[in-house]
Structure 1
Amino acid sequence: MSAEACDVVVIGGGPAGSTAAALLARRGYGVIALEKAHHPRFHIGESLLPMNLPLFERLGVLEKVRALGVFKRGADFEADNERGYNTFAFDRALGKSPPHAYQVWRQDFDRMLYAHARECGADTREGHEAIGIEQLGPRDSRLEVRTEEGRGYRIEARYVVDASGRDAFLAAKRRLRRKNAQHQSAAIFGHFRGADVRPGEDAGNISMYRFEHGWMWMIPLPDGVMSVGAVCWPDYLKQRRGRTLEFLLETLRRNPALWQRMRRAELIGNEVRVTGNYSYDSSSMGGPGWVLIGDAFAFIDPVFSSGVYLAMSGAEQAAQVVDAALREPAAETSLLRRLEKRQRAGMERFSFFIYRFNEPVMRDMFRHPRNALKLEQSVISMLAGDLFDTPRVLWRLQLFKLVYGILALRDWRRWRAGHRDRLAQARAQFTGGNTPLDKV
């Protein structure tokens, strides 16, 4: 069987894959972008970060995102005050991050990005799944592809960008994927009409609530829809035993403040989704002629809405690496090493907060924030996605970790109990998901 030839194959048509495909096609490379499904297809992860906006502008899609999204000026967390919550407003961030973000229907957002990659010159192919790969020489690869009609064909590429999400195509083939031993969780969620939004300028904010088995979100979406769900310990979600809607509603009732906003809400389409353990990474991000981006490389937890930003930011950086490696192969190893170091550093800064979000000490720090030495503002910068290149943010985040450590020592019994529970849940497994992501 003869093979097509191209410069770059991108596996996956989500935000990471579409970003890489668009940028590389714009630089003149022959890019084939494979997507095994068809757009629009459902995906969770509707809340974007302010630091997405400069990237959207560089990509050339900012106005399209504005047309799709609900304006978000900040993130709300429960608090012991008259309103019952604190708003971490993005315009108080320390760095140069934009003062707002957007929330989107992911099926519309992902379809727009994939179409943009096509407009930039990428050969986009929906219903085409990569099923095998063979290394040809030191860098080139041959991919086996199967269409939804069952036709098979081959592509020979100078570079492979794996943006296959939780399928983790290359990580699975190369046995790179690792379960996160520090953190595991599972989620149950649905979309509702009639839920109460925050008053005034807070109407578009994402709201975060805690309960004894995890945390909950409310995300305002276009057309008066509210995404509502809970990220739970795996052992808690195992109690569902086949129930979906009833279990979701029982869970939401565990937080009275959230449930008050749901008193007039109605589920859309009688559809509740459940997804299993999704905290993992890969032992390597790239090698000769290949690189992993987005969820194909790693995913932590959706608590701070970091997934889309980390995926697209990593894709933008990876596109630069691929471009440089194709022009100067001798530089590839050092470029990949630098890319991986940067991505892991950003993930680790998010992870510090994610791992401890439901532990007593961190819960108290979010309920009663203090801005001594602008530490609260540094946390807002983190929530905005500014955790790579702004020194005055980064050193304050380090100081925040020190303050957390001191408070944890002072309240060591509660800290130890929370830490022990988290590690116990990290060993748990939940395999009862009903989304396409749980079929891999």
Structure 2
Amino acid sequence: MSTMQQTDVLIIGAGPSGSSAAALLRQKGHQVTVIEKQYFPRFSIGESLLPQCMVFLEEAGLLDTVRAHADEYAFQFKNGAAFLRGTQRSFYDFTQKFSEGPGTTWQVRRANFDQLLAQQAEKMGADIRFGHEVLAVDVASAQPILTVKDEQGNNYQIQGKFLLDASGFGRILPKFLDLESPSDFPVRRAVFTHIEDGLLDDPEFDREKILITVHEKDHRAWYWLIPFADGRSSFGIVAEQDFFEKYGYDGSVDYDLEALQKRILADDVSLSHVLRHAKHDTPVRTLVGYSADVKHLASENYALLGNAGEFLDPVFSSGVTIALKSSSLAVPLVEQVLQGLAVDWMEQYEKPLRKGIQVFRAYVESWYSGEFQDVVFSTQQDEKIRRMIASLLAGYAWDTTNPIHRNAKQRLSTLAEYCREAQQQNELLTDET
């Protein structure tokens, strides 16, 4: 093995959290080495960004390059979220939100989006090593060491003054350092693909919004439809395994997932109508047991970013937002470490990051319990409540001025009860007239 290589900051993974962290560090002049096992562009799920992302992309100097390539890669302008449950329809306009900040963003093919961020980080001076795999991690000394296999199969070691894990679902540090902690979410499966959606000229469908559809026969299950600007969409189904078993899917690797997805789609009359002209022309994939947590998010010489630390659920598209927020929070603290200053990672990083994650968690849990679904589809919401909800759906989970932010779980439950009672009263008045 050759002489130990040196860098200021080591980053594992070149996805959104890794590239944004690298860009932020390069803005400060620090040497950054990113170890990425895959080659870009590569397929990744999670195509629907939230407006809060725009703040973090701009902060990292990455927004302009995404904007400049939006037309080239058919990134779809996004201004809100639409919901469908049987005959019920609802939508939220993110520009009509409580929180300050951008109200629009894009829906993106992650292969192109992630590559753009990585390329810009490279232009800013980050050393991104594609096709390099982490074999071992040593954080026992003050300066962490990675043992890495390069593209030719040769091993080398590299040492940094700090280590950031942005490996996403690879979860490198949680696995090597035994940080894994079981999620308290039920095990859910996602079955997903890209389709030619046949919706370009459909007046009933708004391409500028993600469409979230509740399964008519089982409200624990839902579909996503994320349009791109070229007539294609990301399409997926999320549910617990017992739901899929009702359709004959036992989780076997050789199962016909396309046929499964079509059967489940056919069981929802409203969404089947929306996608009546769709063409399923891309292999269907599945991901199960993706929700994850860890014992802690940081120590004195390393920190976990984005999905490497905690992933909740694909509903409401919080993944990229949490990833970018984690980089935004972590990098100023890494800079303090590089300057020889003390950092309390629990107080300055983990607690602030988890505050927003807990808000996301509250309305994910409320969605699956049915409470937030009742809020979303209620016709008895005043404008102030709609604006607060729009802020949460737009990703502003760290906005402490939003009344729903504080005690989010309890307040969402109270709001659901209010919406149910108001809905019942309205139906009684309608019957009487």
Which interval holds the TM-score relative to the shorter structure? 0.7 to 0.9
Are the structure 2 counterparts of residues 95 and 322 from structure 1 closer, same or farther at C-alpha, using a change threshold of 3 Å?
same
Give the corresponding residue for 1:214. Answer: 221
Query: Which one-letter code corresponds to 1:240 in the other structure?
Result: Y
1:87 aligns with 2:91: yes
Give the corresponding residue for 1:251. Answer: 264
Are the structure 2 counterparts of residues 236 and 79 from structure 1 closer, same or farther at C-alpha, using a change threshold of 3 Å?
closer
Cα distance in 2 for partners of 1:36, 1:79 equals 41
Further displaced range: 380-389 or 71-80: 71-80
1:233 aligns with 2:240: yes
Query: How high is the sequence identity, in percent, across the aligned residues?
Result: 30
CA shift, 1:375, in A, is 2.1
Selected match of 1:287 from 296, 299, 312: 299
Per-residue CA deviation, residues 27-53 of structure 1 (Å, 9 max, x unaligned), is 111110111000000000000001111
Are the structure 2 counterparts of residues 364 and 408 from structure 1 closer, same or farther at C-alpha, using a change threshold of 3 Å?
closer
Give the corresponding residue for 1:158. Answer: 161
CA shift, 1:170, in A, is 0.8
Cα distance in 2 for partners of 1:353, 1:273 equals 26
1:181 aligns with 2:184: yes
CA shift, 1:183, in A, is 3.3
CA contact (8 A) 2:188 2:240 kept: yes
Are the structure 2 counterparts of residues 134 and 335 from structure 1 closer, same or farther at C-alpha, using a change threshold of 3 Å?
closer
What aligned pairs does 1:37-436 form with structure 2 within 5 A after superposition? 37-66=38-67, 67-68=69-70, 69-78=75-84, 84-137=88-141, 139-196=142-199, 199=203, 202-211=206-215, 212=218, 213-238=220-245, 239-241=248-250, 242-269=255-282, 271-329=283-341, 331-332=342-343, 334-372=344-382, 374-393=384-403, 394-395=405-406, 397=408, 400-404=411-415, 406=417
CA contact (8 A) 2:375 2:419 kept: no
Q: TM-score, normalised by structure 1?
A: 0.86
CA contact (8 A) 1:279 1:300 kept: yes
Cα distance in 1 for partners of 2:230, 2:417 equals 46
Are the structure 2 counterparts of residues 397 and 360 from structure 1 closer, same or farther at C-alpha, using a change threshold of 3 Å?
closer
Query: Which one-letter code corresponds to 1:252 in the other structure?
Result: L
Give the corresponding residue for 1:22. Answer: 23
Give the corresponding residue for 1:413. Answer: none
CA shift, 1:136, in A, is 5.0
Cα distance in 2 for partners of 1:176, 1:147 equals 26
Are the structure 2 counterparts of residues 234 and 408 from structure 1 closer, same or farther at C-alpha, using a change threshold of 3 Å?
farther
Query: Which one-letter code corresponds to 1:53 in the other structure?
Result: M
Cα distance in 1 for partners of 2:417, 2:381 equals 17
Query: Which one-letter code corresponds to 2:179 in the other structure?
Result: L
CA shift, 1:167, in A, is 1.4
CA shift, 1:98, in A, is 1.4
Aligned length: 404
Per-residue CA deviation, residues 236-266 of structure 1 (Å, 9 max, x unaligned), is 2354241211100011122211111221111
Further displaced range: 182-191 or 152-161: 182-191
CA contact (8 A) 2:193 2:235 kept: yes
Are the structure 2 counterparts of residues 408 and 196 from structure 1 closer, same or farther at C-alpha, using a change threshold of 3 Å?
closer
Query: Which one-letter code corresponds to 1:290 in the other structure?
Result: Y
Query: Which one-letter code corresponds to 1:299 in the other structure?
Result: F
Cα distance in 2 for partners of 1:135, 1:99 equals 41
Once superposed, what is the RMSD of the aligned Cα atoms? 2.2
Cα distance in 2 for partners of 1:369, 1:80 equals 15
CA contact (8 A) 2:188 2:288 kept: yes
Structure with higher helix content: 1
CA shift, 1:219, in A, is 0.6
Cα distance in 1 for partners of 2:244, 2:268 equals 16
CA shift, 1:362, in A, is 2.7
Q: TM-score, normalised by structure 2?
A: 0.88
Are the structure 2 counterparts of residues 201 and 52 from structure 1 closer, same or farther at C-alpha, using a change threshold of 3 Å?
farther
- Secondary structure at the aligned position of 1:149 is classed as coil
CA contact (8 A) 1:143 1:156 kept: yes
The unaligned stretches of length 5 or more in structure 2 are 422-433
Cα distance in 2 for partners of 1:3, 1:120 equals 25
CA shift, 1:118, in A, is 0.6
Cα distance in 2 for partners of 1:399, 1:376 equals 17
CA contact (8 A) 1:185 1:278 kept: yes
Cα distance in 1 for partners of 2:150, 2:242 equals 38
- Secondary structure at the aligned position of 1:148 is classed as coil
CA contact (8 A) 1:375 1:400 kept: no
Cα distance in 1 for partners of 2:114, 2:349 equals 24
Are the structure 2 counterparts of residues 216 and 118 from structure 1 closer, same or farther at C-alpha, using a change threshold of 3 Å?
same
Cα distance in 1 for partners of 2:82, 2:61 equals 30
Give the corresponding residue for 2:429. Answer: none
CA contact (8 A) 2:99 2:399 kept: no
Give the corresponding residue for 1:426. Answer: none
